[in-house]
C-alpha cells in the first residue's frame, strides 16, 4: 500500500517550530536596522544564515516528500519510539517549562533542575552520574559566562526576592 497524501509528512510540528524560528530570525534581522554597521554585522550574519538554512531545509524536505513513497508498514515501524525516548510534544513542553523556570528560579537553578530531571525522564538511571555531570555543567556554565565573558546571569524572581530579603 502506498501513501495517499505524500505531502502529509511535510506538515508537522517540526515545520511549525522552524517557521517560528524563521519569524524570530526575520524580526531580529529587521531590528538590526537601527544598529550601526559594525554592531549589526554579526546579528545580521546569524539571522541571514538562519533564514537561508531554514529555507534550504524546507526545500529539501519538500522535495523528498514528493519523491518518497513509503509503504505504511515502514511508516508504522519508524513511528515506534525506542526506550528512553521523549515525544516531540513532551520535548517542546519541557523546553518551554525550562524557559519559564528561568524567569522564576533564575538561570543557574533552572539549568540545574533541567539537567537533573531530563535524563531521569528519558530513562537514565545512574543517578550519581546525572547529579555529578549536572552540577559540573552548571558550575562550568556560570564560571564561563560570569567570570570569563562578564555577562549577567538572570537571577529570576526567586533571586530578586532573596536579594530583597537580605537587604532588609
| Tens digit of each residue's pLDDT, the chain (168 residues) | 444 544 455 456 677 778 888 888 888 888 888 888 888 888 889 899 999 998 898 888 878 877 765 555 455 545 555 555 666 677 778 888 888 888 888 888 999 999 998 888 878 888 999 999 999 999 998 888 888 888 888 888 888 887 788 887
pTM over cut 0.85: no
- Strands (E) located in the chain: none
The end-to-end CA distance of the chain, in Å, is: 72
CA-CA-CA-CA torsion sign (159, 164, 167, 168): negative
Q: In the chain, where are the structural domains located? A: 8-79, 88-167
Q: How many angstroms separate the CA atoms of 157 and 106, rounded?
A: 7
Amino acid at each position: 500500500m502506498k501513501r495517499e497524501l505524500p505531502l502529509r509528512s511535510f506538515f508537522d510540528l517540526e515545520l511549525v517550530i522552524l517557521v517560528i524560528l524563521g519569524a524570530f530570525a526575520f524580526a531580529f534581522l529587521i531590528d538590526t536596522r537601527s544598529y550601526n554597521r559594525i554592531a549589526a554585522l554579526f546579528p545580521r550574519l546569524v539571522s541571514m544564515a538562519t533564514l537561508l538554512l531554514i529555507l534550504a531545509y524546507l526545500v529539501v524536505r519538500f522535495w523528498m516528500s514528493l519523491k518518497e513513497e513509503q509503504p505504511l508498514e515502514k511508516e508504522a515501524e519508524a513511528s515506534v519510539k525506542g526506550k528512553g525516548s521523549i515525544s516531540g510534544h513532551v520535548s517542546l513542553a519541557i523546553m518551554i517549562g525550562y524557559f519559564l523556570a528561568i524567569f522564576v528560579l533564575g538561570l543557574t537553578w533552572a539549568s540545574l533542575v533541567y539537567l537533573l530531571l531530563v535524563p531521569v525522564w528519558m530513562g537514565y538511571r545512574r543517578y550519581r552520574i546525572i547529579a555529578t555531570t549536572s552540577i559540573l555543567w552548571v558550575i562550568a556554565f556560570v564560571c564561563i559566562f560570569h567570570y570569563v565573558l562578564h555577562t549577567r546571569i538572570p537571577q529570576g524572581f526567586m533571586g530578586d526576592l532573596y536579594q530583597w530579603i537580605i537587604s532588609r
